[in-house]
Structure 1
Amino acid sequence: MRKHSTADFERFWSMITDPISKQFTGGVTTLTYEQRFKIFCEDIDMNFLGDNMEFAVVEKSSMLYIGYCGFRECEDLDGIELFYGYCRDSWGNGFGYEAAASTVAYYFNNTEHNSLVAACNMENLASVNILKRLGFNFVKPVIINGMSVDKYELCKS
C-alpha cells in the first residue's frame, strides 16, 4: 500500500464506473471524468490527515493499482469507518483481506482510538467474510444514502 498518485486514476475510474464493482457500494459515480479527476487530485494531498487516511492498494510484483483501503470519520456509523474498494480483476486473490488487515493494524497502532466500524451490504459475502476474519462483530442494520447495510465494529484488544 502507498499514497495515491495521479497515475492511479485510470484504473480507479474504471472501477468506480463499473456497475458490478460498485453494486454493493452505492452504485457508479454520477460525476464526469473531469469532475472526478479534479476531486481525486485534491484528495491525494488530503488522504493522510488525522483520522482520514486512504491508501492506494497495489499488486506487489507489478505495482499495478488494484484499489483503495483506508479509514475516515463517518457520521452515519457514528465512528471511524474502515472502507475499501477493488478493481474487479483483482477480486478473489486475498488482496482485500491483506490490505484491510494492514490498515486495521496501522489504525490501532497509530491513533488513540479504541474502536473501528464498517458498513457492509449483507449480500456482499466477500466483504462480510473479510470483516469477520478481521474480528469485526455485527452491531445492527443501518440505512446510509437510502441503502440498507449492516454495521460492524472492531474494538482494540
Structure 2
Amino acid sequence: MSTAPVIETQRLVLRVPQAGDFDRYAELLADEEACRYIGGHQPRAAAWRKFLQMPGAWAVQGFAMFSVVEKSSGLWLGHVGPWRPEDWPGTEVGWSLHPDAWGKGYATEAAEAAIDWAFAQLGWDEVIHCIDPANAPSWRLAMRLGSRNRGPGRVPPPYEDATIDIWGQTRQEWSARRERGG
C-alpha cells in the first residue's frame, strides 16, 4: 500500500490504519456508549478481527475508512471515511471516534476531508450516512456536513434488523455548499 493516500487537515492526519492504532481501537470497541450504534461493544479478540476490515478493504477495494490521528500528539482518534460493503445501501462516508475525541470538532473536520477525497478520487456521485435515528450526535454531524435525512433504510446481514435512517447528499449539493464556504 505504498500509494495509500494521506490527507492532512489543520489538526488531523487521515491515513490507512496501521497495527499501532489497534490499542485505541480496542478501547473504542470496549466502550458500551461509544459502540451503542455500531454493532455493540466487543472484547479485544473480536475487536482485532473487526479492526482488520479497514486495512483489508483498502487492499481489496482501494478505499475504506481512514484512521484519524491528531497531528499535535500522534494520538489515534477514530475511523472516518468511505465505506461500501457488499449490498450496502449506497456510497457511505461513516465515522466512529474514541470517546475522548468527542465534542472537539474532529469528526466534522475529518468527514469533510474524507467526503472531498471520495468525490475527487473515487468519483462518487453521492455520499450517504447510515444512522440510527436515536443517534443524535451522528445525525447532528450529518446535518453539519449538509446531508439530509432521506428516510428509513436497511443494511445487509448480519445487521438487517438495525434501525437506520439514510442521510445523504449529491456531489453537486456538496460542491455548492463548499463553494459557499460551508
> TM exceeds 0.5?
yes
Q: Say whether residues 1:129 and 2:140 are aligned partners.
A: yes
Cα distance in 1 between the residues matched to 2:29 and 2:93: 18
1:143: Cα distance to partner?
4.1
Does the 8 Å contact 1:15/1:21 carry over to 2? yes
Residues 35-88 of structure 1: CA distance to partner in whole angstroms, max 9, x if unpaired? 542553574254255463221011121010010111122456521111110110
Match of 2:17 in 1: 4
Runs of 4+ in structure 1 deviating by more than 3 angstroms, as ranges, are 38-43, 48-52, 74-77
Structure 2 residue ranges without an equivalent (≥5)? 1-13, 173-182
Superposed displacement of residue 124, structure 1: 1.8
Structure 1 segment 1-157 matched on structure 2, within 5 A: 1-29=14-42, 32-38=43-49, 40-41=51-52, 43-44=54-55, 46-47=57-58, 49-50=60-61, 52-74=63-85, 77-144=88-155, 145=159, 146-157=161-172
Letter of the structure 2 residue corresponding to residue 152 of structure 1: W
Contact 1:3-1:55 within 8 A present in 2 as well: yes
The higher relative CO (CA closer than 8 Å, separation ≥ 6) is in 1
CA contact under 8 A between 2:17 and 2:66: conserved in structure 1?
yes
Cα deviation, residue 133, structure 1: 1.4
Distance 1:89 1:155, change over 3 A: same
Looking at structure 2, the residues matched to 100 and 54 of structure 1 have their Cα atoms a distance apart, in angstroms, of 10
Give the fraction of aligned pairs with identical amino acids, expressed as a percent: 24
Higher strand share goes to which structure?
1
Aligned length: 155
Task: Specify the code of the residue in structure 2 equivalent to 1:68.
Answer: H
Structure 2 contact 149–165 (Cα < 8 Å) conserved: yes
Uncovered stretches (5+) of structure 1, i.e. residues with no partner? none
After superposition, the CA RMSD in angstroms is 2.1
The one-letter amino acid paired with 1:71 is P
- Verify the 8 A CA contact 2:17 2:55 in the aligned structure 1: yes
- With normalisation by structure 2, the TM-score equals 0.76
